[in-house]
Amino acid sequence: MLLTLILLQGFSHALAANHGSHWTYKGPHGQVHWSDDHLDCGGQAQSPIDIQTKSVRHNPALPPIEPQGYRSPGDGAFTLLNNGHTVEMSLPPSMSLRGLPQTYVAVQLHFHWGSRGQAGGSEHQVNGETFPAEVGNVANPAYDNILDRLKNIQHAGQKISIPPFDIHELLPGQLGHYFRYNGSLTTPPCSQNVLWTVFRQRARISASQLERLQGGLYSTKVANSLPVPLVDNYRAPQLLNQRVVFSSFPVGPSAYSAGEIVAIVFGTLFGCLSIFLTIHFVVKRIRMKRIREQKDVVFKSSSRRAVSGNSHRP
Ligand SMILES: *[C@@H]1O[C@H](CO)[C@@H](O)[C@H](O)[C@H]1NC(C)=O
């Protein structure tokens, strides 16, 4: 889920460019082994998590997130880097976030994604649902500022300068609705000092934009004769343990997804229709039975009359 990362990890003061030990997402240095070299990765307050909305606590005092200086982030160029784990873009200190316990100064943004044709890609989940980034038919042109440059940083260690652009356009529209919890960096050293904000609304890009992200980069250096695609760079959800996830909005029936709402509406309609048809046919059968009985009565009485007529005849 693109926007999650931008927000929290991007602006936490706890950013750590880790040039220490070698780590990957799968294999002998994969995520299940991270805690061998980085103790915090085995801690009790790790990220990402699967947000279970039924256990979320609404805190109406949580204010909307207010990005400052995102629309025109100055004249200085941004640096776009393939660090072998993700594509990372440096951000200037003129950009900051309000609506948090302190003002957070922007440092960088980066992405996590899956691979072509596979489900998943987001780190955080909501009720067990993962997101490939929200994909539609409509491209989000703001993301092209980054995606158009990936061809220049295909290999690990490569970086380029790109002209500054409106970073606000990368974010979803509704910045007042979000989940909030205490967690960690989702990569080694997994430092547990990140205050996470996960927006309820997803950022939207098109399917072809997603494919450019999934197919454009390698996690290996240019000299490597066996290039490894940079895909599936997301960590599995971690245990919540004693932590509480708060929401800035009431997580009631409104927490249902559009698909669930459609299912509920159709389910209810179908249920009502079934009840209506059942009643309709039962009533119809009762009426038919009554009509048949009345006919029987008419028939019997007329036959009785006939009988009695006969009996009077002699
Ligand atoms: C995060 O942890 C701090 C320190 O324990 C606490 O004061 C704060 O309320 C926590 N925030 C959330 C969202 O749980």
Task: State the average pLDDT over residues 231-252.
Answer: 95
**Residue 255: its pLDDT value, please?**
52
**Residue 254: its pLDDT value, please?**
53
Position with higher pLDDT, 203 vs 260: 203
User: What confidence tens digit (pLDDT) does each residue in 115-140 have?
Assistant: 998 888 999 999 999 987 667 788 99
Question: For residues 127 and 247, is the Cβ–Cβ distance under 8 A?
Answer: no
Task: State the average pLDDT over residues 277-287.
Answer: 80
Residue nearest to atom 3 of ligand 1 (CA): 182
9-13, 32-36, 92-96, 100-104 — which is least confidently predicted? 9-13
Q: Is the minimum distance from the CB of 8 to ligand 1 under 6 angstroms? A: no
Q: What is the mean pLDDT of the chain?
A: 85
DSSP letter at 161 equals: E
Q: Is the pLDDT of residue 3 over 50?
A: no
Domain spanning 2-251 has what CATH number? Answer: 3.10.200.10
Q: Is the minimum distance from the CB of 182 to ligand 1 under 6 angstroms? A: yes
Ligand 1 centroid – CA 102 distance (Å): 13
Ligand 1 centroid – CA 12 distance (Å): 15
Q: What residue has token string 């695609």?
A: 229
Q: Is the minimum distance from the CB of 100 to ligand 1 under 6 angstroms? A: no
124 is catalytic: no
Q: Is the minimum distance from the CB of 192 to ligand 1 under 6 angstroms? A: no
Distance, in Å, from the CA atom of 205 to the CA atom of 169, rounded to the nearest integer, reads 11
**Residue 117: its pLDDT value, please?**
87
Q: Is the minimum distance from the CB of 181 to ligand 1 under 6 angstroms? A: yes
Q: Is the pLDDT of residue 305 over 50?
A: no
User: What confidence tens digit (pLDDT) does each residue in 13-45 have?
Assistant: 334 444 456 899 999 999 999 999 999 999 999
Ligand 1 centroid – CA 67 distance (Å): 22
Residue nearest to atom 10 of ligand 1 (CA): 182
Nearest CA among 122, 130, 144 for reference residue 1? 122
Q: Is the pLDDT of residue 141 over 80?
A: yes
Catalytic hit among 33, 58, 85, 312 = 85
Task: State the average pLDDT over residues 43-49.
Answer: 98
The model's pTM? 0.76
Percent of the chain with pLDDT over 90: 66
Confidence of residue 196 (pLDDT cuts 50, 70, 90): very high
Residue nearest to atom 7 of ligand 1 (CA): 182
Nearest CA among 151, 199, 210 for reference residue 172? 199
**Residue 253: its pLDDT value, please?**
60
The H or E element spanning position 206 is strand 204-206
Ligand 1 centroid – CA 241 distance (Å): 14
**Residue 75: its pLDDT value, please?**
83
Percent of the chain with pLDDT over 70: 82
103-107, 218-222, 261-265 — which is least confidently predicted? 261-265
The atom number, within ligand 1, closest to the CA of 180 reads 13
72-76, 78-82, 242-246 — which is least confidently predicted? 72-76
Position with higher pLDDT, 294 vs 209: 209
Q: Is the minimum distance from the CB of 112 to ligand 1 under 6 angstroms? A: no
Ligand 1 centroid – CA 179 distance (Å): 13
Confidence of residue 204 (pLDDT cuts 50, 70, 90): confident
Strand partners, 205: 135
Q: Is the minimum distance from the CB of 246 to ligand 1 under 6 angstroms? A: yes
Distance, in Å, from the CA atom of 213 to the CA atom of 114, rounded to the nearest integer, reads 9
